[in-house]
Amino acid sequence: MYRSKLRVLTVFMFCLFFLGLTSVVKAEELRIFSGAGLMKPMEELRQNFEKKNNVTISVHYGSSGEIFGMMSMGQTCDVFIPGAEKYTNDAVKNGWLYKPSIIKIVKHIPVIVVPAGNPLNIKSLDDLARPGLKVALCDPKSAAIGKVSKKLLGKCKLWDKVEPNVVVFAPTCNQLLIYTALDQADATINWLDVTTWAEGKGKVQTVKIDPARNMIKTIPTALHISAKDNPLAVKLNDYIASSEGMVVWEKWGFEPCTR
């Protein structure tokens, strides 16, 4: 009787071990480092890919400078997708990304963002230099749009005039949108796609920047050098830039690079 019970218990424990082992094998995980401003489309793309490929994907969202800095400190990911191509190019130079895997996906278009109704009638970058105007920008040292804003205003010889009006340097474009939506700033420079988010709907509107002055950026996706031989990571990188993926990008206000 005792031996019989022991035999049953042994079989039961073996089954538990086998099931546990099976679940470990199946529970493959991928990791993405993504710009915070790409959160809306990336979350949808992540969920779609997880459902179709029985995989778990963790995503760290941060400013482009932050996620670049994470790699510089030795942290790894499978897919790297910052808010501007510069960070990808620099990561390739440092040997962190697999260059042949780079795919240009969509454009990142800077616009002036003002409270709904444009109460101060802001029409161009020059208006950001008006005395007393409350301007919010992203931190040029951390966020892609912050770096672009400073370069853009510098190119137009406006930085020295606008900087005294800056009341806050936000760490991410997400937070920059909130400042405008809550009327805590008279104007900001942000990405066009961010203004389509629910947080800003009905609360903000955009003012186009003269194309001759604007600095439109490109968002690429790429594999970390450690993931270049991982078939599932390759598949994820390709999916983000696929025609199916592009439907998601366009839904969230992004314009494909091919257009």
- Binding-site positions for molybdate: 64
- Selection from 31, 94, 45, 29 nearest residue 219 by Cα: 45
**Residue 178 near residue 172 (C-beta atoms within 8 A):** no
Say how far apart CA 226 and CA 242 lie, in whole Å: 22
Distance between the two ends of the chain, CA-based, in angstroms? 76
| Helix and strand totals (H; E) in the chain | 9, 11
Gap between the Cα atoms of 259 and 254, Å rounded:
11
Annotated binding-site positions: 64
The dihedrals phi and psi of 90, each to the nearest 5 degrees, come to -65, -35
DSSP of 165-214, one letter per residue?
Answer: GEEEEESSHHHHHHHHHTTS-SEEEEETGGGGSTTTTTTEEEEPPPTTT-
Distance CA 169, CA 171 (A): 7
